[in-house]
Amino acid sequence: MNEFNYIAKNIKHPGVYLSESIQENGFSVAEFAARVVKPTKTIYAIIKGESSITPEMAKSVSNVLGTKPEFWINMQKGFDLENAENIIEGNIDKALKEKWIQEFHPKTYSDLLNHNLVKKTKIPKERVRSFFNYFAINSSRSLLKIYSKHIEASRFRSKNVDNKSKILALVSFVRYGEIASKRLIVDNFNKDVLESNLSLIKEILWKKEEGFKEQLVELLAECGIKLIFSPKFTGLDVIGSFTYIGENPVIQITDKGKRYDRFCFTLAHEIGHCKLHGKNFNSIDFDTNSINLDRDYEKKEFEANNFARKFLLSPGLEVGKVDGKYFSELNSLFDPESTNYMKFPSFCVKYKVHETNIIGAWLHENPEAYKSDYDLVNKVTSTFRLEEKDYILNQ
């Protein structure tokens, strides 16, 4: 049965009562149509339930039959509401028949439950209804269409979103950001304010003091940017994303990898998108990005990466030129023959750069060190973690 063909089961269409009223008053349909100054076919359409009684029609009918317009308007409204509910019920039945919920990985369902995003229930229809409510949909068939641009963006960046369950985990992550963004009330995005706040953002990332995450949320909100800390979804190695919702850029970040350097780089990367790219661009970033299938997309990602590196690694609190002396000292930190070898604290204080960002960048350029230089790897491991209080939907 087509989802638009369901009819209300308990409330009759006003056309039934109109037909009875016409007969009780001794009118033919043609005569009644003449009295309300409407085509006969219009009255027949209402009687058959193929057309609705509009407020204007309710007034005309009431003038002829001696009733109140509210009687017909309320009857039509009641029918429409129940009919709409029956359509949704029919779509829930379809989702059950097509085993839509089973397309979600069990761990995705557990993640949604653990963060109170869907209702815990053993009743199949109520479980589907809870998913419909979370995604704000009335039909399971519309879900992937709604998030097609995010799915496409993910495929530019990773080979891992390769099956239906991972795609559904991805849209669960994106939907979390949509819901959470409604909790943050900010002004429209202002690029000039962002530019003036960059040095303060860099200082917060360098110092990493108590409450730094809240400080970042507030400072970016001043620019019209919504920063949302999001729970991870099992099996999905998404570390961050950038999109626009309305007039505001939305940056969504997880603690995938639990490394402070990756958090900083992801945040700076997404800020780069805010600064450089417009409303029509979406980015999904993974813990391990692997592919780019689109030249324009690749160019924008390169630009955001380049901004992030300069932002995090240039000395001082401004993003400026880097002289040779700075690079010479920086490289000596990783040279066992140098007297500066592993002397990160003094270097970081001198140049106002966080230790993990220096080490993380070096490890990125020297991936073989992961297998041999355990002291360096340990310095970035387990350096960043989100807590329940950081998730805005838990507040």
Check whether residue 327 and residue 285 sit in a common domain.
Answer: yes
What is the amino acid identity at position 221? A
Instruction: Identify the residue whose tokens are 């970042």.
Output: 216
Check whether residue 333 and residue 269 sit in a common domain.
Answer: yes
Q: Which two tokens stand for residue 160?
A: 């891992």
Check whether residue 210 and residue 155 sit in a common domain.
Answer: no
Domain assignment of residue 271, yes or no: yes
Check whether residue 44 and residue 153 sit in a common domain.
Answer: no
Check whether residue 192 and residue 298 sit in a common domain.
Answer: yes
Q: What does the pLDDT read at residue 29?
A: 96
DSSP string, 145-206: HHTHHHHHHHHHH-S---SHHHHHHHHHHHHHHHHHHTT---PPP-HHHHHHHHHHHHHHHH
pLDDT grade for 286, boundaries at 50, 70 and 90: confident
Domain assignment of residue 174, yes or no: no
Domain assignment of residue 180, yes or no: no
Question: What is the average pLDDT across 61-68?
Answer: 95
Domain assignment of residue 179, yes or no: no
Check whether residue 118 and residue 79 sit in a common domain.
Answer: no
pLDDT grade for 322, boundaries at 50, 70 and 90: low
Check whether residue 54 and residue 122 sit in a common domain.
Answer: no
For residue 85, CA distances in Å to 6, 8, 16, 109, 133 come to: 9, 8, 20, 25, 13
The CATH number of the domain holding residue 90 is 1.10.260.40
- Whole-prediction pTM: 0.84
As a whole number, the mean pLDDT across the chain is: 91
Domain assignment of residue 285, yes or no: yes
Question: What is the average pLDDT across 108-118?
Answer: 94
pLDDT grade for 292, boundaries at 50, 70 and 90: low
Domain assignment of residue 54, yes or no: yes
Domain count of the fold of the chain? 3
Q: What does the pLDDT read at residue 245?
A: 95
Question: What is the average pLDDT across 53-62?
Answer: 96
Check whether residue 49 and residue 138 sit in a common domain.
Answer: no
Q: What does the pLDDT read at residue 5?
A: 40
Residue 260 DSSP SS3: helix
CA atoms within 13 A on the CB side of 135: 23
Check whether residue 282 and residue 193 sit in a common domain.
Answer: yes
Domain assignment of residue 4, yes or no: no
Check whether residue 120 and residue 159 sit in a common domain.
Answer: yes
Q: What does the pLDDT read at residue 193?
A: 97
Q: What does the pLDDT read at residue 8?
A: 45
Q: What does the pLDDT read at residue 138?
A: 94
| Phi/psi-derived region of residue 352, left when phi > 0, alpha when psi is between -120 and 50, beta in every other case | left
Domain assignment of residue 283, yes or no: yes
Q: What is the pLDDT of residues 77-109, one digit of tens each?
A: 999 999 888 899 999 999 999 999 999 999 999
Check whether residue 246 and residue 142 sit in a common domain.
Answer: no
Q: What does the pLDDT read at residue 327?
A: 82
290 touches 303 (CB < 8 A) = no
pLDDT grade for 9, boundaries at 50, 70 and 90: low
Domain that holds residue 112: 101-166
Check whether residue 83 and residue 114 sit in a common domain.
Answer: no
Residue 361 DSSP SS3: helix
Q: What is the pLDDT of residues 217-264, one digit of tens each?
A: 999 999 999 999 999 998 888 999 999 999 999 999 999 989 999 999
Q: What is the pLDDT of residues 150-207, one digit of tens each?
A: 988 887 777 666 688 999 999 999 999 999 999 999 999 999 999 999 999 999 999 9
